[in-house]
Structure 1
């Protein structure tokens, strides 16, 4: 909306006569008071407008301002790299083992598609200055229905990703301490399930925190963690006598859906800097190639499970893999918690509402992790059904609707339509294969 500017006082400098008498005020200006556009993020997990963290996708004007000094560019680049750097890197050798050498082309295709749709999201933002979150784009394109679909898809994605963190912790701790077993009231608990329960107790207090600043600083080390894991894996192969002797398969048609689903999981964020995508894609490709050369078709769902635990380089990689999810777990659940608390906070005390929301939510992820402790299959499902949808399909659909280019056939419409169709194909086939794989493990 627009409001009339206040008349300057005598102490204020006199305004120029040619300045407009009315100024623009965004919707929900009270909610946004004290915040600028940079306070809103379009990265996983911070996809909602009420989480105060650095934006990765910015408007054109802000990008021009940021490019004025190098420090802002470096900071933006680091935030973009951190948004893309995650635990998905440990599953890339397994993805290549599923699809073969030529599946690496699909990694480049997914990276290019995610980069392009990031630009589409930016264009959607530029059409309306009141758009501050991904759900706003869905609302602008398809109304309340679009907003609900985007919100559900994003929340389910971060929920299952957080569940994957617990499985990751359980698998790696069980690999380090394979003889740890529990028996409670006559019930035998495997080491993996036991460690999932133990880690959940460690993480639970972080879920009660109202201020996530400390955790966000730790989770911002995602770039460093990825470099450490990559370096440790290379050291294990080159120095610790594992070697790079595996030849692997050129192409495995049956494993392609799983491979491309895991690749999609790695690109669930949307920084628009080409440099961020290029560096992360190079890192992902190196990890996939190194792991596949080391273990071939025997690559586990996490490369850390293949590394010998008696070597220092392996322990560095494993411990680095263990630390990051502990810091990121509560951050990933934050968007879901904020949505729930916003609906019930008026009926309950804020502290009570927070406790009653966060604790059951975390307990539910523990149950899912215990019932479906299949990291590779679950992350493949997340990548196909949710990451491909939020990163590729939805941005294309929203851009087609907001821009109106669907009304006329042109080069841009063909390109966007092709990317949209590709996202749908990945979602359909990848989801089917992932479900079949999960059911076969039950």
Structure 2
């Protein structure tokens, strides 16, 4: 066939690639990209945006939300473009692009640790979130029942993943992902619509929560971290694009970008109303999860919590798939295990058990993520794509592309330095309330 990309893999390598979860199935449509991206991006983090607004204040809060939306859309566009910039080759994984930009060894060391912190961190947080939302549903529906510890709800939530994690590849989780994307739009809408229905609190206060200047500054940094956490989808974007078919005449970036634009419109429809309406109605008395602030109507809050659980199930799978891919690649290519169902079963079951146990032992992991999030979320989302773009495309000095990339890098590095400071302080302040195995 004319102008077909050259395939120089051995039959053994090809067999391994056909087995690995990222590269085994390449028949996704553009709308797969849309709902995979929505599921990856709109995490339960959206429910903490009104709280982040309370820490940032009206002006800075709205500015940071809009800036984050614009910058992350731009860096996502760069990643979609870079996926196939070498003719006949596809960078199916974030670290492969890193290796091309920074060199074989250095690329791995720069990308893989950050990607793993984000993906494993998000999976642990989602274990806790799923368990807590199940508990909230149980307590809302049956206030007179005997209270059950969060631990048991986390185990119930994990049991779903002991089954779902054995779906072989990205395309096989598309149904779960679609359900999750619909749920994220649903519970976001419930959050702001129920707030509006409540009406502005009579004694609403828009001043900062903290009474001291130091407290205000640290809360501000913490708010930055919460916004950064809300835009964490870039860690799986190349892996999602790898599932879309590609030919020299129809490269995968066309359908992928179409999906990303639809996803970002949905992200805006979820994030902005929740953040602005939630803060407008409750002011600085809003909780770090707006569904907790909204206690009534009971049935609606119960429903929203079920939606959160379904969404988090999908999100967990989206973030776990690249981790499975890394583990399986390592076992098969480096340790020369034979690709088999048994190997996959043991690897994935062990991983789900690991995230479950950490979630049970450290139920306050979400607070820790504000700290870790700054280190890993800000680089992989806000500025690592820009550095790769500069390294690979080498735009002319002081050209528009060069200037935009350096602005993004500057803001991203600032975010990476400041948000862990806020996260660390909130850990120290609330450390007295933390309890292992609580």
Alignment TM-score, normalising by the size of structure 1:
0.76
Aligned with residue 226 of structure 1, among 148, 161, 184: 184
Q: What's the CA shift for 1:53?
A: 6.5
Q: What's the CA shift for 1:217?
A: 0.5
The structure whose residues are more often helix, as a share, is: 2
Structure 1: 5+ residue stretches without partners: 6-18, 40-45, 56-71, 183-190
Structure 1 residues 173, 125: closer, same or farther in 2, change over 3 A? Answer: closer
Paired with 2:137 and 2:348, the residues of 1 have a C-alpha distance of 30
Q: Is the 8 A contact 2:36 2:181 kept in 1?
A: no
Structure 1 residues 396, 31: closer, same or farther in 2, change over 3 A? Answer: farther
Aligned with residue 171 of structure 1, among 123, 132, 140: 132
Residue number in structure 2 paired with 1:317: 304
Paired with 2:32 and 2:172, the residues of 1 have a C-alpha distance of 19
Matched, 1:424 2:413: yes
Q: What's the CA shift for 1:400?
A: 0.9
Matched, 1:50 2:23: yes
Q: What's the CA shift for 1:401?
A: 0.7
Number of positions where the alignment pairs a residue of Structure 1 with one of Structure 2:
386
Q: Which protein, 1 or 2, shows the higher relative CO under an 8 Å CA cutoff with sep ≥ 6?
A: 2
Residue number in structure 1 paired with 2:357: 367
Residue number in structure 1 paired with 2:142: none
Paired with 1:208 and 1:231, the residues of 2 have a C-alpha distance of 32
Matched, 1:152 2:113: yes
Structure 1 residues 428, 371: closer, same or farther in 2, change over 3 A? Answer: farther
Q: Deviations over 1:267-311 (max 9, x none)?
A: 223574555434422430101122223433232232222221662
Paired with 1:284 and 1:361, the residues of 2 have a C-alpha distance of 31
Task: Please state whether the residue corresponding to 1:286 is helix, strand or coil.
Answer: helix
Q: Is the 8 A contact 2:39 2:315 kept in 1?
A: no
Q: CA RMSD in A?
A: 3.3
Q: Deviations over 1:140-170 (max 9, x none)?
A: 1111221342233222211111111111122
Aligned with residue 393 of structure 2, among 400, 403, 407: 403
Structure 1 residues 122, 358: closer, same or farther in 2, change over 3 A? Answer: closer
Paired with 2:288 and 2:412, the residues of 1 have a C-alpha distance of 23
Q: What's the CA shift for 1:435?
A: 2.9
Aligned with residue 404 of structure 2, among 391, 394, 415: 415
Paired with 1:269 and 1:170, the residues of 2 have a C-alpha distance of 22
Paired with 1:211 and 1:277, the residues of 2 have a C-alpha distance of 24
Paired with 1:297 and 1:32, the residues of 2 have a C-alpha distance of 56
Structure 1 residues 140, 73: closer, same or farther in 2, change over 3 A? Answer: closer
Q: What's the CA shift for 1:33?
A: 7.5
Residue number in structure 2 paired with 1:94: 51
Q: What's the CA shift for 1:436?
A: 3.3
Q: Is the 8 A contact 1:100 1:250 kept in 2?
A: yes
Pairing 1:3-402 to 2, within 5 Å after superposition: 24-28=5-9, 49-50=22-23, 52=25, 80-102=37-59, 103-129=61-87, 130-133=89-92, 134-144=94-104, 145-178=106-139, 180-181=146-147, 191-210=149-168, 215-239=173-197, 241=198, 243=200, 245=202, 246-249=204-207, 252-270=216-234, 272=257, 273-274=260-261, 276-308=263-295, 311-345=298-332, 346-347=336-337, 350-374=340-364, 376-381=366-371, 383-402=373-392
Structure 2: 5+ residue stretches without partners: 140-144, 210-215, 235-255
